[in-house]
Every structure is written in C-alpha cells, then in structure tokens.
Amino acid sequence: MGTPRDEETQPLVSPREESPHKQKMSASGEPPKVHPFIAGLYCAFNIIVAACIVFANKLVFQHYNFKFVFALTWIHTIFTWVGMNVLAWRGFFVPKKIPVMKLIPIALGYVGYIVLCNVSLNINTVGFYQIMKIAIAPTVVVMEFFMFNKLPSKLMICSVVVVCVGITAATVTDRVAISNMWGLVVGVAATLVTALYQIWAGSKQRELQANSSQLLQAYTPHAVWLLGILVPIFEPIGWTDPGPNTLLGYQYTYEAVGAIVLSAILGILVSLSTFLVIGATSSLTYNIVGHLKTVIILTGGVMMFGDSMPLKRFMGICVAMMGIFWYTHLLMVQQPAAPPVIKSISPMNNQSKDKEGRDGSA
C-alpha cells in the first residue's frame, strides 16, 4: 500500500490505480481528453466532499450528541454498499464475484479500522484525528519493514523521519490531546489498525486479482451484517428502558437525522469524486489533492470546532506536511509505468475483465 487514506467510506484507491474510464478511453487508442476546467471541478468536488465528511461526522458526534459509533458506522456502510452498487451499475467499475469465505475476514478488518477511526474522531479533536491520519503513511513503511523485511530507500526513510518529527511536535504541543489519554490511545490504535488493514487489503487484492473498488463492493454487504450484530452488543439499545443515552431513546430531530444521512451521502460522493479525479487527471494530482484536503480539514477544525493552534503545533504540522509531500514525491518517482491496456472495459459487457492493478491502499 502506498499512501494514506483520507476518509473511511471511500474505496481504497491507490495512486497507482487507474480509473476504469481512463482505461476504456486509452484502449480506444486515444488519450483521455478532459477539459482542464472540468478536471479542476472534479478536484474541487473531491476536496469539498472529503473535508465535509469529516466535519459532518464530527458535527453528528459533538453538536447532535449522537455518540453511537457502531450505529453510525453501520448506517454509513449501508449507504456505501448501495452507492458502490450504483457506481458499478453506471459503469464506473466492473463487479467481480469473490468467494464469501475469503471476503468475511476482509470485512472484519474493515469494520475494525472504520470503527476505531470513528471512535477517534468522536473523542478527539479534528486536528489530532487528522494528524493521526497523516501518520498512517510512515506507519505502513515501518510495518512493512518489520513484517516483510521491505527496506525502503534512504531518502524514503528520511522523509518518514521528517513526518514523524512533525507529528510528534504537533502532538506534544496539543494540550487537549496530551490530557486526553484515552483519546491518545484510541488515535494511535486507529493508526496502527488502519495501516495493518491497508497492507493486508493490498495483499488480498493481489491474491484475489480484484481492484479496490471491486473488493469494497464485494465485502460491504458482509460488513453490513457484521455491524448489525455488533450494534446491539456494543451500543445501549434501550429495549426495556429507552433513556436519552440509548439508540431507541435518542431524540431523532429532523436536524439530527438530516446530519446523519448527509454524512452517509458524503461517503458515497467521496467514492464518486475519487473515481472522477483519478479518471480525469493523474495519480500525482490525486495525491496533491489529498494534501490540500488535509490542510482544509486542519483549518476547519480550528474555525468550526475550536481546535487550538499555537505556533509550535502549527510548525509541527508544517514539518509533517513537508515530510508527507516528500514521501509522496519519492513514492511517485519509484512507481513503475503502468502496462498498456489491451481490452476496453464496458459496463454493457459482463465478459469484460477489469485490468486495473493495485498494490494496496480514507
């Protein structure tokens, strides 16, 4: 897996993974022609919805006091399942049948990392949550070294060190994060589990010969029923005593329900906009857009949710961002060129084979 993910409900799209639409046009012998203005709109759309889903989730947790993380994750996963099927129906990718027994472990891993990320967002500030997301990329590099003895280049190691120094500086100067020990533990755990899941998902994609979108569309129905089992186990349902702190006793105002549904719809829009950006531009552009999303989310945490931003913390975040830019540049430089695509992919032809490759990556 290569780069960090920004959102929980979007497909695990690697910067090395080409869009089916881009492949289809390339197979016809003509390079994809998207007007720069349209490509810019796609990028702006992706930035807006990717940042808004974080803000919407935090709003649901903090403003509307909907603290039921498993239930919210379940709702999001249902919307993601429906959305991915709609995208497949519209020809954004070709679905692939995968044996159920091979999908259930992936669904379990998906549920684990999604729930931890949402718990982290629930009990931490938006800024600390996003800093922990930045930490996923260097965590993957370190894990791959210990798990597979995969030694990165010296420059890659240097970039990871820069990211870690920046994250450490930004964290130790965050009084809220340091005083919230439980939030710190959950944030670190979410980073570790997400990195493990991304590495594992990458190996499963190679094993099953399925791209990220095919895999997500295949395992989300299993994640739905797994979460359906976990919700009554971990959430206070209120079967006998539906108090205000239970799912049945929660005050479902029009505003609260609207915010919950909006956050779920934004997850689908993140998936759609990711397809559009990669299909209309390049993997480099997608990575740059990802960094812009990080800046916007950190800024939004300060402006919308009152996150503190003292100078030392700001400098730490700047150092971390410099390191992640460097890391992304090195990652892009060392990527091999994608092999030419021979067959086009048509949503009208169920016999078409998806030629997308994926090494394993919000």
Radius of gyration of the chain (CA): 20
Q: Is residue 5, in this structure, part of any structural domain at all?
A: no
Mean pLDDT of 55-61: 94
Over 90: is that where the pLDDT of 272 sits?
Answer: no
CA dihedral 126, 318, 39, 278 (to 10 degrees): -80
HSE-CB of 97 using CA atoms within 13 angstroms = 2
Angle at CA 188, nearest 5°, toward 335 and 330? 15
The more confident residue out of 208 and 347 is: 208
Consecutive H or E run containing 74: helix 69-89
Over 90: is that where the pLDDT of 74 sits?
Answer: yes
- Percent above pLDDT 70 for the chain: 80
User: pLDDT at position 357, please?
Assistant: 37
Domain, as residue range, for 323: 34-237+255-334
Written as six digits, the tokens of 209 are: 């010969």
Written as six digits, the tokens of 159 are: 């970039």
Q: How are the residues of the chain apportioned to helix, strand and coil, as percentages rounded to the nearest 5?
A: 70, 0, 30
**Residue type at position 257:** V
In sequence order, the 6+-apart residues with CB closer than 8 A to the CB of 127 are: 174, 298, 301, 302, 307, 309, 313, 317
What DSSP line would sit under 88-133, residue for residue?
Answer: HHTTSS------HHHHHHHHHHHHHHHHHHHHHHHHS-HHHHHHHH
Number of domains in the chain: 1
Counting runs of H as helices and runs of E as strands, what totals does the chain give?
13, 0
Written as six digits, the tokens of 34 are: 């998207």
Q: Is residue 26, in this structure, part of any structural domain at all?
A: no
Place of tokens 């959305």: 83
Over 80: is that where the pLDDT of 335 sits?
Answer: no
Written as six digits, the tokens of 205 are: 């994609």
Q: Is residue 4, in this structure, part of any structural domain at all?
A: no
In sequence order, the 6+-apart residues with CB closer than 8 A to the CB of 304 are: 55, 126
Could you give the residue ranges of the DSSP H alpha helices within 149-253? 154-172, 175-179, 181-208, 212-234
Written as six digits, the tokens of 62 are: 């903090």
Average pLDDT, the chain: 79
Q: Is residue 96, in this structure, part of any structural domain at all?
A: yes
SS3 string, 242-262, reads: CCCCCCCCCCCCHHHHHHHHH
Residue 54's alpha-carbon distances to 171, 238, 271, 293, 304, in angstroms, are 19, 28, 14, 10, 12
pTM (2 d.p.):
0.77
Neighbours of 315 (CB within 10 A): 14
Over 70: is that where the pLDDT of 26 sits?
Answer: no
Report whether 74 contacts 274 (CB < 8 A): no
Neighbours of 110 (CB within 10 A): 26
Condensed to tens digits (0 to 9), the pLDDT of residues 130-184 reads 888 888 888 888 888 888 888 888 888 888 889 888 888 888 777 777 678 898 8
Report whether 42 contacts 29 (CB < 8 A): no
Report whether 202 contacts 5 (CB < 8 A): no
Confidence of residue 224 (pLDDT cuts 50, 70, 90): very high
User: pLDDT at position 134, please?
Assistant: 86
**Residue type at position 249:** G
Q: Is residue 328, in this structure, part of any structural domain at all?
A: yes
Over 50: is that where the pLDDT of 346 sits?
Answer: no
Q: Is residue 352, in this structure, part of any structural domain at all?
A: no
Which of 108-112, 133-137, 220-224, 230-234 is least confident?
133-137
User: pLDDT at position 12, please?
Assistant: 42
